[in-house]
Structure 1
């Protein structure tokens, strides 16, 4: 574990970004460069914990995608070697970013439990939340009795189809 903590995530993601950029002119996984560019942003932005969690998840998923991608696409020797180097570098980068998440006081969703009751990104429309919103009523609140209406006078009389001046439809 000391080995992982001694790794510098910024240097790892920078090296992988440079390698992915160099491979972008050849037949190589097209998703690696955007993932590593996002990782550069997530690593440098100290307030973006959710971005760091997202990048760590994308990095783990892209490792599996690399294995599938390499079995389905042909590459020449040097490009394949660099793709394998990126794949191998993703493993310590994943663990280094996991350690960086722990240092920032959070964790990756599946690596140490998840907080389902944590902050939400959205709220349900109509005020169906526990705190309620302005102008909306929550589910738990008591509803006041609706104002009483006078009873209806009964069904309306049937329309007289013999008069053409009544309504816009005429009987043919």
Structure 2
């Protein structure tokens, strides 16, 4: 099956992370930058992560210095900055290229499955977001200006779908009283 699970990516400490470890999770992949005006979204991303992580949701931050040189820090300094300034607890990867000949294969894959602004495949700026379902397939692509909190409904929908798939696989039923989410607020 065509999915993100075929890729590995280096974490901030250069350790290779196989994305196959995330099978069954709903994932939001974001190219980030510490000096970008959109970096305030990191707080909102952390709130989403905290709200839905127990339901099978995670976020992967991929720092990138291709747009306005907004990520001048080295990998360890990026991790420290994200944690100190935004209290980030989701996975932070090493810096990657998201466009051009040195594009990380994961981002080539993501771009090949959706188009962005003006139907262009190239990533135009920091904080482009890619939603991945529990089967590792891309569901949607969101522009940098899309605020993370506006993605709650689509995240909940994907988590619900994942729960149904898992229930069907294990042949167990979810009790109507069993909460799937900690909050359904928009």
Q: Same fold (TM over 0.5)?
A: no
Which structure has the bigger radius of gyration?
1
Q: Which has the higher strand share?
A: 2
Q: Report the TM-score range of the alignment, normalised by the length of the smaller protein.
A: under 0.3
Q: Greater relative contact order (Cα 8 A, min sep 6): structure 1 or 2?
A: 2
Normalising to structure 1: TM-score of the pair?
A: 0.25
TM-score w.r.t. the length of structure 2 is 0.24
Higher helix share: 1
